[in-house]
Amino acid sequence: MILEGDQLTIGYPDRVVGAALDVRLETGEVLALLGPNGGGKTTLLKTLLGLLPPRAGEVRIDGAALSSRSIRERARLIAYVPQTHVATFAFTVEAVVLMGRTAHGDLFARPTAQDRMVAASMLDRLGIAALADRPYTMISGGERQLVLLARALAQEPQFIVLDEPTANLDFGNQGKVMREIRALAASGLGVLFTTHDPNHALRAADRAYLLRGGERIAEGPTKEILTQARLEALYGAPVRVITDASGTAFVPG
């Protein structure tokens, strides 16, 4: 399947954030969205998720307008992993993941045995089955990120959109989330994530999309797109490149 934004003008009722944006994401590939703060990354994500209507242009899935689908149908196609937050109520991890099954039942539906099985298998897939009965408020930030990812997987979507999945995570958990993103794409999902670290894009993404001031600076295969010159232009700051036999890494200069 293909999720695409066609000539999108994105923004809120009182202000336009970006214009003339084309985005394209196929199942099985990973697209990284990079750019400075306030550049329109989150607005673009919300527009692609159907949470924010585009001011102009259209978001489509396999050629059909996303807005023509019901909110439940959309949730079965695209899942959203928000930045980790602290929840108001101390739901158990299992209850949080079960909420991912919402779009598979009607308004009054209670979770079925099938829903519980899917939730359990997603927890298992991410290696956090042991957390099932723990309160979501009492686990670490890295574990919460994985729980939200399990919830998104429980939606059984075609695409997963992650908003800065590595923000607020320690070094080890950042690596774990990057590995999971690769594994998701390998299992056939289309993955879109935003990040502040070009190295994460380099490692996990097939293609990169550079967004600055609501404008697309460049888009294409990660290794071609992420160059010192482009990153310096993107962030308006010096960038150093370190290369050795095992690969390339970018360091803020």
Partner 1 sequence: MNNARSAVPGFAIAIAVLIAGLLLALTVGRYPVSLGDLLSVLTAKLWGHRADVAPAVESVIFQVRGPRVIAAMLVGAALAVAGTAFQGLFRNPLVSPDILGASSGAALGAVLGIYLSLGVFAIQAIAFVGGLIAVAIVYVIGAAVRSRDPILVLVLTGVVVGSLFGAGVGLVKYLADPYNQLPAMTFWLLGSLSATGIADLLPLFGPVALGTAVLVALRWRMNVMSLPEEEARALGVATGPLRIAIVAAATLVTSASVATAGIIGWVGLVVPHLARSLVGPDFARLLPAAAILGGGYLLLIDTLARTMAQVEIPLGILTAVIGTPFFIWLLASVQKNWS
φ, ψ (nearest 5 deg) of residue 157: -90, 175
76 sits near partner 1 (criterion: CB under 8 A) = yes
Q: Which one among 1, 20, 51, 65 touches partner 1, defined by CB under 8 A? A: 51
The two tokens of residue 135 are 């309160």
Task: Provide, rounded to whole angstroms, the least separation between the CB of residue 88 and partner 1.
Answer: 4
15 sits near partner 1 (criterion: CB under 8 A) = no
Return the exposure string of 95-111: e unless at least 16 CB atoms fall within 10 Å of the residue's CB, then b. Answer: bbbbebbbbbeeeeeeb
Closest among 118, 88, 91 to 103, alpha carbons compared: 118
For the CA atoms of 225, 227, 232, 233, the dihedral, rounded to the nearest 10 degrees, stands at: -40
37 sits near partner 1 (criterion: CB under 8 A) = no
Q: Per DSSP, which regions of 102-233 are E strands?
A: 159-162, 190-195, 207-212, 215-221
By beta-carbon proximity to partner 1, the closer residue of 33 and 225 is 33
For residue 176, the one-letter residue type is: K
Q: How many residues touch partner 1 (CB under 8 A)?
A: 40
The SS3 of residue 114 is helix
94 sits near partner 1 (criterion: CB under 8 A) = yes
In the shown chain, the binding pattern of residues 131 to 170 toward partner 1, with x for contact by CB under 8 A and - for none, equals -xx---x-------------x---x---------------
Q: Which residues bind partner 1 (CB under 8 A)?
A: 13-14, 46, 49, 51, 71-72, 74-76, 78-80, 82, 85-92, 94-95, 99-100, 102-103, 105, 107-111, 116, 132-133, 137, 151, 155
